[in-house]
Amino acid sequence: MATFFARRLLQVIPVIIGVSIAVFLMLHLIPGDPARLVAGMDATAADLENVRRALGLDQPLPIQYFNFVARAIFGDFGESFRTGRAVLDEIGFRYWNTMLLGCAAIVFGTVLGVLTGIITAVYRDSWIDSSVLAVSLLGISIPPFFLGILLMLVFSVWLGWLPLTGMESWRHVILPAATLGIPNAAIISRITRSSLVEVLNQDYVRTARAKGLSELVVIGRHAVRNGMIPVVTVAGLQMGYLLGGAVVTETVFAWPGIGRLIVQSISARDFPVVQASVLLLALTFVIINLVTDLLYRLLDPRIKLK
Amino acid sequence: MTTDVLSTATQPVPLPPELTEDAVPPRRPRWSRVFGHMRKSKLAIPGGAIVLVFIILAILAPWIAPHDPYRNDLMMMLQPPSWTHPFGTDELGRDILSRVLYGGQLSILEGLFSVGLAMSVGVPVGMISGYVGGRTDTVIMRLIDIMLAFPGVLLAIVIVSILGPSLVNAMIAVAVYTIPIFARLARGSTLSVKEEPYIEACRAAGMGHFRILAKHIFPNIANTLWVMAALRVALAILTASSLSFLGLGAQAPSPEWGAMLANGRNYMLIAPHVVIFPGAAIVLLVLGINLFQDGLRLALDPKMAER
Position with higher pLDDT, A281 vs A8 = A281
Nearest to B111 by CA among B241, B237, B242: B237
| Cross-chain residue pair B162–A14, CB shorter than 8 Å | no
Contact B158 A144 (CB under 8 A): no
At residue B15 the predicted structure's pLDDT band, cuts being 50, 70 and 90, is: low
Q: What pLDDT sits at residue B182?
A: 93
Q: Which residue of A has its CA nearest to B285?
A: A141
User: Which sign does the torsion angle of CA B104, B109, B111, B112 carry?
Assistant: positive
* pLDDT reported for residue A305: 47
* Per-residue confidence band for B14, with pLDDT thresholds at 50, 70 and 90: low
Instruction: Tell me the angle at which helices A87-122 and A127-141 cross, rounded to the nearest 10 degrees.
Output: 160
Predicted TM-score (pTM) of this structure: 0.85
How many whole angstroms separate alpha carbon B136 and alpha carbon B139? 5
pLDDT in tens, B269-307: 888 888 899 999 999 999 999 988 888 887 776 555 443
Span A280-302, pLDDT tens digits: 888 888 888 888 888 777 776 66
- Cβ atoms of A28 and A61 within 8 Å: the answer is yes
Return the higher-pLDDT residue of B73 and B133. Answer: B133
Quick: pLDDT tens for B237-256. Answer: 999 999 999 888 888 788 88
Q: Which residues of A touch B234 (CB under 8 A)?
A: 141
Distances (CA, A) of A15 to A22, A277, A285: 10, 17, 11
Count, residues in chain B: 307
What is the per-residue pLDDT for B305?
A: 46
Quick count: other Cβ atoms within 10 Å of Cβ A84?
7
What are the helix and strand counts (H, E) for chain B? 13, 0
What pLDDT, on a 0 to 100 scale, did the predictor assign at position B283? Answer: 93
Over the stretch A120-135, which tens digit does the pLDDT of each residue have?
888 888 888 888 888 8
Write down the ipTM of this complex: 0.84
Find the range with the poorest average confidence among A26-30, A159-163, B141-145, B303-307: B303-307
Contact indicator for A109, A97 with CB cutoff of 8 Å? no
A44-65 tens-digit pLDDT = 778 888 877 777 777 788 888 8
- Specify the pLDDT at position B26: 60
* Domains in chain A: ranges and CATH: 87-299 (1.10.3720.10)
Q: How far is residue B70's CA from residue B253's CA, in Å, rounded to a whole number?
A: 7
State whether the Cα torsion A11-A17-A22-A26 is positive or negative.
positive
pLDDT of residue B24: 53
* Beta-carbon separation of A244 and B238 below 8 A: no
B245 CB neighbours in chain A (<8 A) are 143, 145, 248, 251
Reported confidence tier of residue B2, pLDDT bands at 50, 70, 90:
very low
Euclidean distance between CA atoms A87 and A148, whole angstroms = 29
**Within a 10 A sphere around the Cβ of A107, how many other Cβ atoms?**
13
Q: Which candidate from A141, A142, A266 shows the least CB-CB separation from B161?
A: A266
Contact, A193 vs A174, CB < 8 A? Answer: no
Calpha distance A46→A100 (Å, rounded):
46
In the predicted model, what is the mean pLDDT of residues A142-147? 90
Whether residue A267 and residue B241 make contact (CB cut-off 8 A), yes or no, is no
Mean pLDDT, chain A, integer:
82
Judged on CB neighbours under 10 Å (0-12, 13-18, 19+), B134 is: exposed
pLDDT category at A303 given cuts 50, 70, 90 is low
Task: Supply the angle between the helices B257-264 and B96-132 in degrees, to the nearest 10.
Answer: 130
Chain A nearest-CA residue for B268? A153
Please report residues of A whose CB lies closer than 8 A to that of B248: 263, 266
A153-175 pLDDT, tens digit per residue, is 888 878 877 777 777 777 788 88
Q: Positive or negative, the Cα torsion across B109, B111, B116, B121?
A: positive
3-state percent helix, strand, coil for chain B, nearest multiple of 5: 75, 0, 25
- A119-122 contacts, C-beta under 8 A, 24 or more apart: A120/A189, A120/A193, A121/A192, A121/A193, A121/A196, A121/A197, A121/A200, A121/A227, A122/A196, A122/A219
* Axis-axis angle for helices A87-122, A171-200 (nearest 10): 40
Chain segment A204-252, per-residue pLDDT in tens: 878 888 887 777 777 777 777 777 777 877 777 777 778 878 888 998 8
Where do the H-state alpha helices sit in B39-83? Answer: 44-64
Per-residue pLDDT, A90: 83
Report chain B's mean pLDDT, rounded to a whole number: 83
Q: Which pLDDT tens digit goes with each residue over A83-98?
A: 778 888 888 888 998 9
The CA angle A230-B190-A293, to the nearest 5 degrees, is: 25
| CA nearest neighbour of B294 among B253, B234, B252, B251 | B234
Using CA atoms, how far residue B132 sits from B160, B209, B213, in Å, is 33, 9, 11
Mean pLDDT calculated for residue range B200-213: 86
Whole-angstrom Cα distance, residue A28 to residue A14? 21
Q: Is the pLDDT of residue A2 over 90?
A: no
Cβ-based contacts of A138 with chain B (< 8 Å)? 283, 287
Predicted confidence (pLDDT) at residue B267 exceeds the cutoff of 50: yes
Question: Higher-confidence residue: A149 or B93?
Answer: A149
Grouping H, G, I as helix, E, B as strand and the rest as coil, residue B65 is coil
- What H or E segment, with its residue span, contains residue A105? helix A87-122
pLDDT exceeds cutoff 80 at B79 = no
Cα–Cα dist B123/B221, whole Å: 10
